[in-house]
Amino acid sequence: MCLHRRRCAMHDAVSNLLALWGLERARASLIAERENRVFKITDGTRTTALRLHRPGLRTSEELRSELLWMAELSRAGISVPAPVPSGNGDFLREVDGQQASMLTWLQGSPFGKTAEPLNHPDRRGVFRKLGQLMARMHAVSDRWEPPEGFVRLRWDTKALVGPDPLWGRFWENPDLAPDERGMLLTFRTEANQRLRDLEDGQDFGLIHADLVRENVMIDGEALHLIDFDDCGFGFRLFDVATALIKNRHEPDFPELCDALLKGYVLERPLDTAELELFFALRAVTYVGWIIPRLEEPGGRQRNKRMISEAVALAGAYLTTLNAPSTRCLGVSP
């Protein structure tokens, strides 16, 4: 199909979906094309975001569960995109196999971009607010009873270091050197045992699971949390580690880490004794995630960075097995 015909087909699909929300006359512009296609929808009175979900990525049950959780968070005052019901009241609609949902539009710009230095006049203040907002999100989720049929990913021991991790068998990344592969396999064995020892007592519940810089929007003094594609049930320290890990090479990382943790405990308790383990676990997930994306533009360069981070963090964890620390990596006790 030629480019023109593909564009026409996409325009028709978007128009058909917009009609389900009574927005036939609205203007749609493509603003993101990653896991989902996201369109900014403007109808003269309001702006919303239409998501066309990648076929096969999530089941309808998983997507409806994601939307229900976001609706609950929004009702509780957490600044996240809220699902907009379609004409029949459903949050999720499907036309010709294409799943779609509509979300409220949040103003602002991303806190930063991965692999680029942060550029904000009050970095510590943002991390403190992010810690508070994350803690409030976890607290709201603990009070909420998901409805019957609620299905989301599980970022548990099996998903992180089991035979087939959620984001791929990281130890089979083809760019790993033999010594790197051996060290990651040792880490996997040790982490598996440690997580099993922790399962009964570790803080576990609904998490965002992808609070990287791009998914934290700043609008003046306000912070918004977006992109819940990977949300599910997991260790709360995994959420914390995800929010921090891409900032490890900032010159003031110890202060940023400290600010986020202090903000978090203003809202709810957090045991950070295993934080270094979860830094390493987050790092190795990326080494699995990148495998099917190696041939994408820049894929090999990204893979090199991800392997370097995983090896450094897994190695750091293995050297401290007998002395768990409450510090952030790179921060003196």
3-state secondary structure 142-161: HHCCCCCCCCCEEECHHHHH
Q: What is the CATH number of domain 110-319?
A: 3.90.1200.10
Give the pair of three-digit tokens for residue 138: 């976890």
pLDDT at 329: 58
- The pTM assigned to this predicted structure is 0.92
What was the pLDDT predicted at 333? 32
Q: Do domains 3-105 and 110-319 have the same CATH topology?
A: no
pLDDT of residue 199: 76
Tell me what pLDDT residue 320 has: 87
As a three-state string, the secondary structure of the chain is CCHHHHHHHHHHHHHHHHHCCCCCCCEEEEEEECCEEEEEEECCCCEEEEEEECCCCCCHHHHHHHHHHHHHHHHCCCCCCCECCCCCCCCEEEECCEEEEEEECCCCEECCCCCCCCCCCCHHHHHHHHHHHHHHHHHHHHHCCCCCCCCCEEECHHHHHCCCCCCCCHHHCCCCCHHHHHHHHHHHHHHHHHHHHHCCCCCEEEECCCCCHHHEEEECCEEEECCCCCCEEEEHHHHHHHHHHCCCCCCCHHHHHHHHHHHHHCCCCCCCCCHHHHHHHHHHHHHHHCHHHCCCCCHHHHHHHHHHHHHHHHHHHHHCCCCCCCCCCCCCC
pLDDT at res. 322: 65
How many residues are listed for the chain in this entry? Answer: 333
The per-residue pLDDT for 324 is 53
CATH 3.30.200.20 fits 3-105, yes or no: yes
Look at residue 13 in the predicted model and tell me its pLDDT.
82
| pLDDT score recorded for residue 75 | 98
As a whole number of Å, the CA-based R_g of the chain is 21
Domain parsing of the chain, residue ranges: 3-105, 110-319
Q: What is the pLDDT along the chain (333 residues), one digit of tens a residue?
A: 444 444 544 667 898 999 999 998 899 999 988 889 999 999 988 999 999 999 989 999 999 999 999 999 999 999 999 999 999 999 999 988 899 999 999 999 999 998 899 999 999 999 999 999 999 999 999 999 999 999 999 999 999 999 999 999 999 999 999 999 999 999 999 999 999 988 777 899 999 999 999 999 999 999 999 999 999 999 999 999 999 999 999 999 999 999 999 999 999 999 999 999 999 999 999 999 999 999 999 999 999 999 999 999 999 999 988 665 555 754 433
Neighbours of 35 (CB within 10 A): 14
